[in-house]
Amino acid sequence: MLFLWLYMFYSCAGSCAGLTTRGSPAPPRAAPPLPPLLPGEPGEESSLEEQRAAPDAGSPISSFFNGSGTKRLPQAIIIGVKKGGTRALLEFLRVHPDVRAVGAEPHFFDRNYERGLAWYRELMPRTLEGQITMEKTPSYFVTKEAPARISSMSRGTKLIVVVRDPVTRAISDYTQTLSKKPDIPTFESLTFKNRTTGLIDTSWSAIQIGIYAKHLENWLLHFPIGQILFVSGERLIRDPAGELGRVQDFLGLKRIITDKHFYFNKTKGFPCLKKAEGSSKPHCLGKTKGRTHPDIDQEVVQRLRDFYRPFNMKFYQMTGQDFGWD
């Protein structure tokens, strides 16, 4: 009889739960609205699918899948640099089960700071205990106000900077702009204030971003050097697993991302993931990555190398790393 009673009880529970009164079906629940989306960089994957796939926080289903998952301010931020390899690093890191990251760039500490930390937190994905919340916005590294603002949020925030040969980075930056505005002046003409005298135009952002030592000085006013990890954009291409090993150690994560996660795509000239986050298919970065650079006058390239050399040497001393850019 006991077993019969239990069987009848559980059978009724499923069919009766949807009734508010005898014979009256409960009104359907309205679907929860999607959170607002942020615009990503052109050609980059939107976080729309990621946001739609996440269960509603207030439902029993979400409690089952997310447990005590909550939205937290990021414990780690990729702060730079533009055209250094930040998108690749973020995509690679998202393979790790203990890393949860915003897909699009929030631009909170440079463009949206007046919206407040509550707005910023709402953009973050839900995380479980032990998982790390991350975001990446490369323009933070060159934004004067960003270090103080991030420090004000949390002095313990871990910062990651992906750096690349500043000459190659400048050409890549120009190439991206050229793809959107084909009628812009030549790289050579934009590089100099006066080509005859060889005076470099440091007001041009493509040149100015690569003076890494100058920007780093601003960050060291608010963060100790040991709280900033410098990732080589060149090594991220040659040895992605090696660089990801350093990043995982820095974040206090188990080394889960290894050589087995990557293959080299000869067409693009970049490493790709054998399986991306939430997918069983290989994944390479979008068509906006790995563009063919225009031919640049080698005399101009050499002048730029001469210009950057003292700044590079200082950057090596400040970080304790020789990136081999000369």
Query: Is residue 83 among the annotated active site residues?
Result: yes
pLDDT of residue 276: 67
Task: Note the pLDDT of residue 56.
Answer: 33
pLDDT band at 287 (very low <50, low <70, confident <90, very high): low
Beta pairing, strands 24-25 & 19-21: antiparallel
User: Where do the domains of the chain lie, and which CATH numbers do they carry?
Assistant: 70-173+205-292 (3.40.50.300)
Residues 6+ apart with CB under 8 A from 278: 50, 53
22 is in an annotated binding site: no
180 three-state secondary structure? helix
Q: How confident is the model at residue 281 (pLDDT cuts 50, 70, 90)?
A: low
Structure pTM?
0.77
The CA distance from 274 to 258, in Å, is: 11
Judged on CB neighbours under 10 Å (0-12, 13-18, 19+), 195 is middle
CB atoms within 10 A of CB 299: 11
Give the mean model confidence (pLDDT) for residues 137-164: 98
- Was 292 annotated as part of a binding site? yes
Band the pLDDT of 289: cuts 50, 70, 90.
low
Question: What does the alpha-carbon distance between residue 112 and residue 106 come to, in Å, rounded to a whole number?
Answer: 8
Q: 55-72: per-residue pLDDT in tens? A: 333 333 333 344 469 999
- Residue 37 clears pLDDT 90, i.e. is over it: no
What is the arithmetic mean of pLDDT over 228-257? Answer: 97
Q: Binning pLDDT at 50, 70 and 90, where does residue 228 land?
A: very high
- Residue 283 is labelled as binding a ligand: no
pLDDT given at position 291: 66
d(CA 169, CA 139): 14
Choosing from 82, 83, 136, 158, which is the catalytic residue?
83
| pLDDT at res. 35 | 38
**What is the model's pLDDT at position 172?**
96
Residue range 307-324: mean pLDDT, rounded: 98
83 marked as part of a ligand binding site: yes
pLDDT at 97 > cutoff 50: yes
Residue 31: pLDDT over 50:
no
Contact 308, 210 (CB under 8 A): yes
**Strands, DSSP E only, in 73-220?**
76-80, 99-101, 126-127, 132-136, 158-163, 192-194, 199-200
290 is in an annotated binding site: yes
pLDDT of 290 over the 80 cut: no
Q: Do the annotations mark residue 289 as ligand-binding?
A: yes
Q: Looking at per-residue confidence, does 197 or 166 come out higher?
A: 166
Q: Are 113 and 146 in contact (CB under 8 A)?
A: no
222 is in an annotated binding site: no
User: Which helix (H) or strand (E) covers residue 53, if one does?
Assistant: helix 48-53
With cut-offs at 50, 70 and 90, classify the pLDDT of residue 107.
very high
